[in-house]
Structures are given as C-alpha cells and as structure tokens.
A and B are shown apart, each in its own frame.
Chain A
Amino acid sequence: MNPRLSRRRFIKAVIASGAAAASKAGVAAVAQSRPAGVVERLVSLDVNGRTRRVDVMPQETLAYTLRYKLGLTGTKIGCNRGECGACTVMIDGVTNYSCSTLTHSVGTRAVLTVEGLQRPDGTLHPVQQAFIDELAPQCGFCTPGQVMSAVALLNENPRPSREEARQALSGNLCRCGAYDHYLNGVMRAAESES
C-alpha cells in the first residue's frame, strides 16, 4: 500500500466535505466541470469508404452500431464475448472482434465490413468467389468473419502457406467444422490473385 495515496485521498475528502457544507453553488460548479476526454455521442465513422454520422452510446460495441444503427447485418454476432470470430471486421486493415470493440474507440480509422468487399460493379472479392467455388461455407453463419480474416491475411501475405492461413483463421470458430474447406478457399483465392 502506498501511504501517500491514502493520505492524499483523506485530505481531499475533508476538503470536499467542507466545500459541500459551505456552499451549494460550489457543489454545482464541481458537478458541471467536465473533465478532459469525455466522449461526445454524435460521431462520424468511416465505414466501407463512406462517412456515416451516428449517435453512439459510450459503452456501445462496434458490432451493435454496425448491425442495429447502420443496417450492416453482414457482420454477425455469435458469442458476443470475443470467443467465436463471427463479428470480425477490419479496422485500418487489422482484424478486430467488433463485439469487443467500443465504437467510440474507432475514431477516424477506416472500418471495413463484409459488405465493403465487393467492387462497385458487384464483382465479388476473390476470397468471396473462392469460398463459393470451394463450397467453403456450410451453414454460413461464421462466413463473414472467415472472409474478413482471409482478406486481411492476403492483403499482408498474398501467397501464404496453408499453415499460415490456418494461423490467420485460427480466431474464427466454425461450428459446422468446415475449416478445411475454408482453407481450400483461401489457397484458391491466393492463386487466383497472383
């Protein structure tokens, strides 16, 4: 125990209680002074290349904002505890569990969801096309997350080994157990892009 901390706290408590007894106006002034760094609720998010204005609660997760405020329901909520990967999105090119990311922490960084992968003319991303060609998804619920992890991998490492792909997708559960099919898809996408 650091004795300086407790002494300081004691003295501050004495001063605060004295101020409260002396003046009601003083208490109101303390309550109104907003400390540095408190978040504003209305924020601008860069989602899939578009600026989206949205009203965000302080404790709101990115998965919630995307699905229920921006209508981007491609991002799935599975466990909602960072233990399944269905909610995986990219923030500035790095995969994140959007269920375990505060929307307010995104700031000016670029969010990319599965909806933002296809080209304007509707052509699918090579990973999406490869997943279709390899019949990678079974029930499909984890697929958006698997796609995002695979795209992040190929952006950084266009010709991964199967083991590297396995590592890159290891944060995405598939309850159907279609892991090998997804890996086939990643390897096919890597070939088609090169």
Chain B
Amino acid sequence: MASFDVMPHIELYKPTELADALELADRLGPRGWLLGGGQDTYGWFKDRAKNAEAMIDLNGIEALHGIRETADGIEIGAATTLREIVRDPLLNERFAVLPAAAARVASPQIRNVGTLGGNLVQDTRCWYYRRGLACYRAGGNLCYADSPQGMNREHCVFGASRCVAVSPSDTATAMVALDATMVATSVDGERLIPAGRFFALPETHITRMTTLEPGEILTAVRLPARWAGKRFYFEKVADRDVWDFALVSIAAAFDLDGGNIGDARVVCGGVAAVPWRLREVERALRGRAPGADTGEAVAALATRGARPLNYNHFKLPLMENLVRRALREPA
C-alpha cells in the first residue's frame, strides 16, 4: 500500500455553534469525521487507510472549551487541549490523576493541540488495522495479530473477542478511575454515559472503540466531587518516554478512611480494548492501609484471568509491579 504525503480531497466544515456541528454530524453520519486536534486523523487519510467525505472541525465551538466548576465537581469541554488540562490549577488540586495522565500523552507539540475528547475516542494502534488490512475491526473476518506469526507484543491480555487490540488512551484510564460521566450530544439531545460503559470491548462493538453512535459528539466529561482530593497514582510504561503509547499504564484512586483504604479504583491501560478495572484488587484493598506490604498482598490479583498472546506475557509482571508501585509510592 502506497503512503502519500498529502491527504485526498476532503471537505472541511468549521462550525462555530454546537447546533450546526450536530446538524452536520447527523446529516453526514459515518461519512463525516469529527476533528479535534486531528493528531489521530491525518495519518489515516494520508495513508488512505480510512476515508471520509468531510471533516467537521469542532475547535471553533466555544461551548466545547474550558474547565468549569459545577455543583457536583468539574466539567471539562471535550475540545479542551491536553496542554490546558496539564496546566489547570483546579484539576491539579482536586483530580491530579487526570493532568498526570494527560502530561504523558505523546509529545509536547501533540499535547498543545490534542484535545481531551480526541484522546478519549482515539482509535487503537494495532498496526495491522492501521495498515488498512481487512481485519475484524475493519469489517473483515480475521485477526492478523492473533495468529501464529502475528506480532502482538503491544496487544491485549484481557477482553479479547476475535480482535486483540488495546485502548491507547492515557486519559481514558483516569476517566474510569474518577467515575467520570461522558456527555454525548446529538440532534436528539444529550446522553450521559458512565466512563465505565463509554469504552467498548470487541465482543459488543468490534469496529469502534466507544459506544458513541454515528451523529453523536462527545461534548464534555464530568468529574464527580466524590473523588476530589483523594490519593491518586498514575504511571505509564512505554518504550520511549515521548510519543509512544502505553505498554501498560495504571491510574488509581484511593479513598482513605482513617488511614485505611475504603473505596478504590485501580485501572490499567494497554491491556484490553477498554481501560481495564482491576476489580479483585479493588475489593482486596478494602480495609487495608496503603504501603508496600499491601501492594505485595494484592499484586497477584491484578492478572487473574489474563490470557496473554505469543509476545506479550511481559505485560503480566508489569501490571503486578504497577499495582505494587501504586500502593508503595507516597501520595
């Protein structure tokens, strides 16, 4: 397949009102392409691996920008850039796990333009799929990665169903750890989706990463005050510190009650097509004090039920060690 330096002709809309964008998204449906920072868009078009009739640039819509305090927490417009999130004092004070995750996305230049919404709905990095091969995720009927010769070092260890691709988003893990609510808007109105149900496993939606329907736009995310100021941990392990996607990442939130952990959220990225909650770890943490001993006691639960592929067994000790570190490191 040839790779070209320029994109084929694609119409471009720059609506300034959300209503116009929703009307366009509704009219174009799957023939339209929503544009945030565009960093996960132009490669598809340049490679001719995906096509669209028109791009709908959402950045000119004022209502999609900004970090606002609400009655129950903080609402972040989907077109808010990762740079803004990393630098926001309110988020750093109350929901530090999100700026920590956003700070590890790609490179400075990409964070300068990349949006929160775009980072959350970005497509998987499976190179067979990115190459434009007719795999399950592209509507075909085989998986190249999960084959005897498949190169699957970066692929999933949980939740495979025909497709073994993983969610590449760093901020998605933080959204699940914070019990965020995603606001999906269409011409028919708003739909509120808990972060835990926003991302989609291949068994339910094999050709997309989220439960957003064509015509719907992710307009905002809401972080509930419930998790504000709790103890957080984020770490991302990647081959390079810049650009590379997570081999495994962890986002954790611990609600400490008199020195012991009450409610906890421990979420791994890079191990499934969705941010993967380690529910057994969360349950086992209840009533224990954070620290190296607790980490040691619960680490093995992180990988229970994992099904590694030929080349990604290394993700299992990596997950367990990240759980240890999440509990060992001081807040």
Contacts and interface: CB of A to CB of B under 8 A. Distances in A.
Interface stretch (A110-118, A165-173, A184-192): A165-173
B188 A35 contact: no
Interface string B177-188: 000000000111
A182 to B, nearest CB: 15
Q: How large is the interface on A (under 10, 10 to 19, 20 to 34, 35 or more residues)?
A: 35 or more
Contact of A171 (B191, B216, B242): B242
Which of A5, A35, A59, A167 has the most B CB atoms < 10 Å from its CB?
Answer: A59
A1 B210 CA distance: 11
B101 to A, nearest CB: 16
Contacts of B5: 64, 77, 80
A35 B20 contact: yes
A131 interface: no
B38 A4 contact: no
B11 A167 contact: no
Interface string B105-124: 01111101100000000000
A59 B39 contact: no
Contacts of A104: 12, 14, 57
Nearest to A170: B242
Nearest to B24: A35
B33 to A, nearest CB: 11
Nearest to B81: A94
Interface of B: 5-17, 20-21, 23-24, 27, 29, 35, 38-39, 42-43, 45-46, 55-57, 59-60, 83, 106-110, 112-113, 186-188, 191, 213-216, 241-243
Given A59-B8, A94-B112, 6 more contacts: A36-B15, A36-B16, A37-B20, A39-B13, A102-B57, A105-B57
Interface of A: 1-2, 4-5, 8-9, 35-39, 57-61, 64, 77, 80-83, 85, 88, 94-97, 99-102, 104-105, 107, 149, 167-168, 170-171
